Amino acid sequence: MGSSRVLLHDDNAETWVRSFESGLADYDDRNEKSPNLVQVLYRNESDWEQVILDFTRKIMDPETQPQKFFATKQIPYFRVDVPFDALLRGVDSLLHLANGSNGFMIFHSDLDVNRGVNVVLGSTLIRYSFLTYPRQKELILEKFEFRVPTGVIIYGTEQQFKDFIQANHHVVRNRTEWIFMYNQFMSSSPPKLNISFPYFRAYFSSETCCTLANPTTDSQRCSASSCDGNPSEIYIRKLAFVLAEALNQVDPDGKKSFRVSCTPPNDPRVGDRGFNAVLMDAINAKSSNKMVTAKQGKISFEFPLKVEDYVNGSVRAVGEYKFETGLQQTPGFVFRDRKRYFRIGIVNFPPWTMKDEKTGEWVGYCIDLANGIANKMNFEYDLVVSEGFGKRMPPNGRWNGLTGDLKIDIAVAAYIMTSEREEFIDFVSPYYEQSGLIITMKRPVVKNSLFKFMTVLRTEVWLSILGATIATGFMLWFLDKFSPYSAQNNPQKYKTFRKFTLKESFWFALTSFTPQGGGEPPKAFSGRTLVAAYWIFVVLMLATFTANLAAFLTVERMQSPIRNLEHLAAQSSVKYSVVNVSTAMTFFKNMANAEEILYQMWRNLTLTAPSSAREYVVWEYPIREMYIHIHSVIQSATPVLNMSEGFSRVLSDDYFAFIHDAAQTKYEVFRNCNLTLIGEPFAEAPYALAVAQGNPLQDDISMAILQLQTERFFETLSARYWTSTCPG
């Protein structure tokens, strides 16, 4: 036989060419990304070839596809599908049937990644990220942190799977479909992977290996351990022998071989038009068990790829994949119901979200809301804590914090809907009634005392009353004892009379302050004159005391240092502030800027108005600049760093007011009876959940919120977190 050879064009030649017998592989062009087919042939112009096999998976323009080029020359040309391609297409079909939308494909070499990209792309509806492990380990972990895919597909050996699971156990969790593509022949016994949750396995059985290695050998005497090499290598080796036998049958003398020469593409010399069909029939005839099939310029691997589902140690056959039939499901197999998984972003903002001091778990209104939405939408989630709600960062204007967090799917927090934020994210239907800002101060302490009535009159008045009482009692005794007209000095005139001893005189003076009076007055005219004057004094003192007491109690009950925001801005005794870098600070800053802009517009309007424009003649600026004053006071008082510092400052200073979020302030006031709310909320705005722009979850979440509203879910939550425990 002459020099009959096969021209092999293979991007992955470094791996697969070694599988061919010596002399079968002539071309190694793995360094060229887009090789020119004419140049490929010209480089081998000294050789005589019988057939060309193409193992590449380049996505080419139809006008430059190799088969079209070789068809014009009538040169036998075949594109070859190998077990590696069957693995990728099989698991892609599996993930598609499982309603997957995105996934990670992880390989252990760059050559496998390159071929995997060209095999899968263009024939799938699933978005994949192609990654190499361990070279891209940090990138893989970063992708897991930012996005949880529908499925994770890993290509390698069982030992490589074990190493990956052990090194990355924190990401190998039951949050996604895990599919293991075996780059080795496996027996039907369960794999020994340290995974407790369900997963899929795609592999070629050891019987396939034994059939490829020696079709005449009893498969029971062969095992997967006896197959040295991966399925693609063993298949290509077998393909080489089948092709050699077919060529020896149809062209034993090499007469149908052709020489690749440096002639232009339109060279009139062409091969035998019927030789390609004859060769395909010979390949199919020489292939035992149809392991190698040639059809329409393509050679395919037609042994089944087995796909199995492992759940709690038990195995279920999903189906088998072949190039010709695709993935055929096992009758009766139903994909397990896997809940969707999302990352929910939260911010430490009591009572919406806070950490339980005893258990260390996150609790609060938003956590309960997340649970309610998860139950309605049937998904599982993890919490991702962000540092604040976020703000625009110069110079590119991107957001930080929760607004700019790319790791989350849903933001469940006390998110105020603003037009500025809506430029970057999409808000869902509001879940909480209008909230805003409110003022809080320390509750005035009322001092209770048995002698509080003494404070109605000044000390000097009380001393004068005491002096008048003593003097009256002494004078009454003196007059009754020494007056010749007194009853005790005229006993014959008065049969019964009251004797005013010193003791009785003081008792009379004291009881004169009571409604009943002091009793029987003296009989002498001098004594009666004294008593009359004293009674006038008593009436005046009682009237004064009663009036002062009523006024004192009324003023004390109505006393309040601040009534509302306008009153707060108009006084100077009470200082006030807000949390730095907060919604309150932004509100007052923007309102102050608005007042400044209005003033400048009014100023420019009046200065440029003609002298005849009487409507602009006013004595003062007609708009009160309240927010400019408030903003300046806040700046001078130094904004507090956080909410806790603000409330602590209120409790330590009777003349300090803290302006903060209304819902959060009410929660704190209901828990701390030493605080009180001032006025009504202002700058009201609704709270809403948020998702990334264009996220299809927006409609589903809105529907879940509406369902919760009909069940009075939000009223129950509000009663749980905003119920006062203070007396009165």
Q: What is the DSSP letter of 353?
A: B
d(CA 105, CA 121): 12
Selection from 30, 59, 31, 27 nearest residue 42 by Cα:
27
Identify the CATH number of the domain defined by range 340-433+686-722.
3.40.190.10
Sign of CA dihedral 664, 670, 672, 678: positive
pLDDT at 577: 92
Q: Which CATH superfamily is domain 83-217+304-329 in?
A: Response regulator (3.40.50.2300)
Number of Cβ within a 10 Å radius of residue 448: 6
Please list the ranges in the chain whose pLDDT falls under 70. Answer: 1-50, 57-73, 213-226, 228, 251, 253-277, 286-291, 406, 446-447, 555-561, 611-622, 727-728
Sign for the pseudo-dihedral over CA of 72, 77, 82, 84: negative
Residue in the structure block whose two tokens are 């509806």: 125
Unique residue bearing structure tokens 């709270």: 687
**Given the structure tokens 């252990």, which residue do they identify?**
108
Domain with CATH 1.10.287.70 in the chain: 452-557
Token pair in block for residue 186: 């496996």
Specify whether the CB–CB gap between 575 and 656 falls below 8 A: yes
In degrees and rounded to multiples of 5, residue 476 shows phi and psi of -65, -40
Ranges in the chain annotated CATH 3.40.190.10? 340-433+686-722, 565-682
Confidence (pLDDT) at 372: 94
Instruction: Determine contact, residues 16/236, Cβ cutoff 8 Å.
Output: yes
| Residue 253 assigned to a binding site | no
Q: Would you tell me how many other CB atoms lie within 10 Å of the CB of residue 265?
A: 10
- Cis ω before 395 (30° cut-off from 0): yes
Judge whether 421 is annotated as a binding position.
Answer: yes
What superfamily does domain 565-682 belong to in CATH?
Periplasmic binding protein-like II (3.40.190.10)
Given a contact cutoff of 8 angstroms between Cβ atoms, the answer to whether 340 and 380 are in contact is: yes
Predicted local confidence at residue 508, as pLDDT: 87
One-letter identity of residue 66: P
The whole-number pLDDT of residue 320 equals 92
Q: Which fold, 452-557? A: Helix Hairpins (1.10.287)
Looking at the chain, which residues constitute the CATH 3.40.50.2300 domain(s)? Answer: 83-217+304-329
Measured CA to CA, the distance from residue 286 to residue 242 in angstroms comes to 6
Q: Which of 230, 292, 225 is nearest to 15 (CA)?
A: 230
Distance CA 537, CA 532 (A): 9
- Written as one letter, the residue type at 718 is S
pTM of the model: 0.60
pLDDT the model gives residue 16: 36
Find the length of the chain.
728
